[in-house]
Amino acid sequence: MSFADLGLSDKVLKAVAAAGYTEPTPIQANAIPHVLARRDVLGIAQTGTGKTAAFTLPMLTMLETGRARARMPRTLILEPTRELAAQVVENFERYGTNHKLNVALIIGGVSFADQDAKLMRGTDVLIATPGRLLDHFERGKLLLTGVELLVIDEADRMLDMGFIPDIERIVKMVPFTRQTLFFSATMPPEIERLADMFLSNPQRVEVSRPASAATTIEQKLVATSSEAAAKRDTLRKLIRAADELKNGIIFCNRKRDVALLQRSLAKHGFSVAALHGDMDQRARMQALDGFRSGEVPLLVASDVAARGLDIPAVSHVFNFDIPHHAEDYVHRIGRTGRAGRAGHAFTLVGRGDERSLSAIENLIGQPIPWLDGDLASLSVGEGDADEGRTRRRGGRKESDQKEARAEGGRRVRGRRPRSEEEQSAEAKAPPEPRAEAPRRSAERAPNERPRENRRPDHRRDDDGDTPLGLGEHVPAFLMRPVTIKKG
**Which positions touch ligand AMP (CB under 6 A)?**
21, 23-25, 28, 47-53, 310, 312
Residue 48 or 109 having the CB closest to ligand AMP: 48
Residue 54 or 126 having the CB closest to ligand AMP: 54
Element (H, E) at 248: strand 248-252
Q: CB–CB of 48/210 below 8 Å?
A: yes
Distance CA 149, CA 40 (A): 9
Strand order in the sheet with 217-223: 217-223, 343-349, 316-319, 248-252, 298-302, 272-275
Distance CA 341, CA 133 (A): 38
**Distance of closest approach, residue 112 Cβ to ligand AMP, in angstroms:** 29
Residue 205 or 228 having the CB closest to ligand AMP: 205
Distance CA 86, CA 88 (A): 5
**Distance of closest approach, residue 434 Cβ to ligand AMP, in angstroms:** 28
**Distance of closest approach, residue 53 Cβ to ligand AMP, in angstroms:** 4
Residue 52 or 262 having the CB closest to ligand AMP: 52
Distance CA 301, CA 307 (A): 10
Distance CA 329, CA 450 (A): 31
Angle at the Cα of 143 from the Cα atoms of 140 and 145, rounded to 5 degrees: 150
Strand partners, 152: 78, 182
446 exposure class (CB count in 10 Å sphere: 0-12, 13-18, 19+): exposed
Residue type at 468 in one-letter notation: L
Q: Residue 373, by phi and psi: left (phi above 0), alpha (psi -120 to 50) or beta?
A: left
Q: Give Cβ neighbours of residue 29 (< 8 Å, ≥ 6 apart).
A: 1, 6
Closest CA relative to residue 440, chosen from 58, 31, 166, 186: 166
Residue 5 or 354 having the CB closest to ligand AMP: 5
Q: CB–CB of 144/73 below 8 Å?
A: yes
Residue 99 or 473 having the CB closest to ligand AMP: 99
**Distance of closest approach, residue 94 Cβ to ligand AMP, in angstroms:** 7
**Distance of closest approach, residue 30 Cβ to ligand AMP, in angstroms:** 13
Distance CA 252, CA 238 (A): 16
Query: Which residue of this chain has its Cβ atom nearest to ligand AMP in the complex?
Result: 52
Residue 208 or 358 having the CB closest to ligand AMP: 208
**Distance of closest approach, residue 184 Cβ to ligand AMP, in angstroms:** 13
Distance CA 131, CA 430 (A): 31
**Distance of closest approach, residue 21 Cβ to ligand AMP, in angstroms:** 4
Residue 127 or 223 having the CB closest to ligand AMP: 127
Residue 312 or 340 having the CB closest to ligand AMP: 312
**Distance of closest approach, residue 344 Cβ to ligand AMP, in angstroms:** 20
Residue 217 or 252 having the CB closest to ligand AMP: 217
**Distance of closest approach, residue 239 Cβ to ligand AMP, in angstroms:** 25
Residue 107 or 239 having the CB closest to ligand AMP: 107
Closest CA relative to residue 228, chosen from 433, 438, 424: 424
Extended strands (E) in 107-239: 125-128, 149-152, 179-184, 203-206, 217-223
**Distance of closest approach, residue 155 Cβ to ligand AMP, in angstroms:** 15
**Distance of closest approach, residue 29 Cβ to ligand AMP, in angstroms:** 9
Distance CA 94, CA 21 (A): 12
Strand partners, 111: none
3-state secondary structure of 322: coil
